[in-house]
Structure 1
Amino acid sequence: MSQQLIAREANVAASTISRLLSRPDRGCLRAQGQRILAVTPGRFDDYADRPSTGTVRRIHGLYFAAHGPVQIADASNLSPSMITQLAGGRYQSVAARTEKAIRQAVTELATRTGTCPRARLRAQREQWAPLGAWDDIDDPQAVPDWTGYCGTDRGYWTHRRLKLPMCARCQTAHEQWLADNAALGAQELNHACFRARTTAITREADLAADGRELLTYGVPIDQAAQRLGVTRNHLQQAMLRHPAPAKETAA
């Protein structure tokens, strides 16, 4: 949060915030101090710059869906060069209008596949995550969950089956699984790998079927995900990857 934003939120002069930072020994009026202490960290108004984390991740997600700088620029009313600079992580913060513009672009573009293979190739090369991989895309501490099982050996096999770029957490988990099973003979190890791969496929398909069944009975998707022990994004992605069979859809 900038000094000006903190001042606006606390209803004090910006010079008061500046003075407290440079000369904290001089203090301030008690009423001013109480208002400053009451400011909620991370709350941004319509005039404030804010961290670029979520904006950059949204652009990366659009690249993953094959939307290039020109398409994103058209949907956001920003320039293609600005989109390219944001994608490259040039800015640590963005203006409120820029964040709003990229959110608008996501709303317009996220539900359809783009037409820029170069954008998709760059996203794969840089291992930029799709939009649905984030539980909280604006949280700097959040990590993408590409498969719903990232960080486990099941996640590794899901990456492989869906031909997704392998994330470091799943690669590490699979290497640990191999180390834990190093005592197995070659044939036993192959059988164990086959079982792990098969389990990764069938469990996600079962999850998608269970999710659709709950939705059929009128359970909201957030509650359905909670009952099944997964996040909403994970359930949605599972149902996209495992659509209802034709017979089930007709029913």
Structure 2
Amino acid sequence: MSTYTRRAELTPEQLRRVRQDAKRRRVLLSLGAPSRTNSIDEVQRHVRQLYFDRGIPVSAMARQSGVNRDTIMHLIRGFRVVQGERVPVTGLLRSTLDKLWTITPDGASVDGRRRPSHGTRRRLQALCALGFDCTWQAARLNVCPSNLNALVLGTRGRQFVLAATAEAAAALYDKYQHVDPRDVGRGERQIKAAKTRAAQHSFAPPWCWDEDTIDDPNAIPEWTGACGTARGYAIHMRDRIPLCQACREIRRKKDGEASVLDPDKLASAMAGSGIGIADLAVSLGCSKQAIYAWRSGDYVPRSQSIDRVARALGVRPADLLRDRAQSRGEL
């Protein structure tokens, strides 16, 4: 957060800018022109592009434009917090808007302080797959747990991280990628929660990466040694390895564009395996209402859920899907 600076403590240059802004507002008011504008969509898009796509820090943009860093951050987020509630940013001073347009990627250089986030995200996800939860990782990296959690999940669209954070995450990964979480004091409950979360989001463990691929934005994790091929998909199913994105795409191509669960085939498979609704719900970690909805056809599960159901029932995923002709006829 910014702190208030008394007028007597301003430098001559800062004082000159304050007087210029005040004079400009008085002139605009005398001419009948509003000193504020609600047309901020374009400048907001400009600032967000600099922040998310170019990795320009807010502090660098503030230095180049002379605009308070909190004002820039509020514009990027689209809101500011007032008394605990989010208030949308709907307007700016015209003088502020003009200053924001002066920001350029060349003028607000990152000076090597930011790096692409995909390598750091993959390292943190790999530690999570081993059982190191985000709270433990955040404490070791000295960052806010909620910010690290958003980085791991990729929920805030951050394409860059501070170089210091990237280096600290790489050091943490190198130190603990071959360590059992129990050896550093993590309990069974914490380890299980971290691994469950990693399985739900298909986080790749350390052995799926090497030093040449973990920082490559176009690389995919090698779960099976043949990921992205039909053989890789078969190994996933045989060894009950969580499906990676590349093999999931292979599966979709193999089973057709619409991989729709057939309620009748699900009921038959459950009857043949002797597994009831309650037992299947416990095995999948979901509610009985979800199983009822799948069996009745009221809800269509995702492909990942169909794979888990097939493994629990001891059948192939294709044995639970509707026929291609039937699926095409309903679309």
TM-score normalised per structure 1:
0.49
Question: Rg larger in 1 or in 2?
Answer: 2
Task: Choose between structure 1 and 2 for higher RCO, CA contacts under 8 A separated by at least 6 residues.
Answer: 1
